[in-house]
Chains A and B, each alone.
Chain A
Amino acid sequence: DQQVKQNSPSLSVQEGRISILNCDYTNSMFDYFLWYKKYPAEGPTFLISISSIKDKNEDGRFTVFLNKSAKHLSLHIVPSQPGDSAVYFCAALTSGTYKYIFGTGTRLKVLA
């Protein structure tokens, strides 16, 4: 039972354009969400997070949007850069617990 899903396994975007990565979840108890970036053979690197009391959080080129009614979040990267090419994981958890539930990842390729 995959509680957190990233339905697009891969995405290609031209440099300078916007990258939009999507994530859907099923568990309504999740109230904290994170996005991580991962290169092959490396550990995940934290990008940005959002609490369920917000619907948007922005940090530089990265913005996360949360739609609680749709149980959907998205990560926007603008402008996209070739160095952004990596696998992006969303993760969800219920505050007060420790258990990250990771999505299956989306491989982003930014074309120069």
Chain B
Amino acid sequence: GAVVSQHPSRVICKSGTSVKIECRSLDFQATTMFWYRQFPKQSLMLMATSNEGSKATYEQGVEKDKFLINHASLTLSTLTVTSAHPEDSSFYICSATPGLAGGPLSNEQFFGPGTRLTVL
């Protein structure tokens, strides 16, 4: 149980285009989903948190107009990298929890396999 999938697993795009990454919880309802970014040989950095049906909360330094997050259902969140540039190339990982952010279950996060984005 507690499986989280991401699609696509890797994507290559041209500079200036937009890319959408999907994150799905396959066997549980994910009230809260998280988006992380990992640069090579660095830690995972939280980008934003979204609760189903409400606007995402972005971490300091993350441009909300560039990284659009939609959490329209209890099993799906999407991250759209708008007008991508080479510096956006990174490994993007989502995670999901059945609990509400701040609630008693929010200690548990289940991670997706990640999406490798390369912007040419």
Contacts from A to B (Cβ < 8 Å):
9, 32, 36, 41-46, 49, 89, 93, 95-100, 102-105
Q: How far is the CA of A72 from the CA of B43 in the complex (A)?
A: 18
Residues of A contacting B45 with CB < 8 Å? Answer: 102
Instruction: Decide if the interface of chain A is mainly helix, strand, loop or mixed.
Output: loop
B7 within 8 A of A: no
Q: How many residues of B contact A (CB 8 A)?
A: 30
| Contact across chains for B49 and A98 when beta carbons are under 8 A apart | yes
| Contact across chains for B111 and A44 when beta carbons are under 8 A apart | yes
Give the distance to chain A from B12, nearest Cβ to Cβ, in Å: 14
Q: How far is the CA of A41 from the CA of B93 in the complex (A)?
A: 10
| Contact across chains for B113 and A102 when beta carbons are under 8 A apart | no
Query: A46-B110, A97-B101, A102-B43 are known contacts; what are 11 more A-B pairs with Cβ within 8 Å?
Result: A41-B91, A43-B4, A43-B113, A46-B111, A93-B107, A96-B104, A97-B106, A98-B97, A98-B106, A100-B109, A102-B44
Give the distance to chain B from A42, nearest Cβ to Cβ, in Å: 5
B102 within 8 A of A: yes
Residue in B4, B32, B42, B116 whose beta carbon sits within 8 Å of that of A104 in the complex: B42
Instruction: Given A42-B113, A42-B114, A95-B107, answer yes or no on A100-B91 (Cβ-Cβ < 8 Å).
Output: no
A-B contact pairs, 16 of them (CB 8 A): A41-B10, A41-B114, A41-B116, A43-B111, A43-B112, A44-B111, A45-B111, A49-B107, A89-B43, A93-B107, A96-B103, A98-B97, A100-B44, A103-B43, A104-B42, A105-B41
B46 within 8 A of A: yes
| Contact across chains for A98 and B34 when beta carbons are under 8 A apart | yes
Q: How far is the CA of A41 from the CA of B112 in the complex (A)?
A: 11
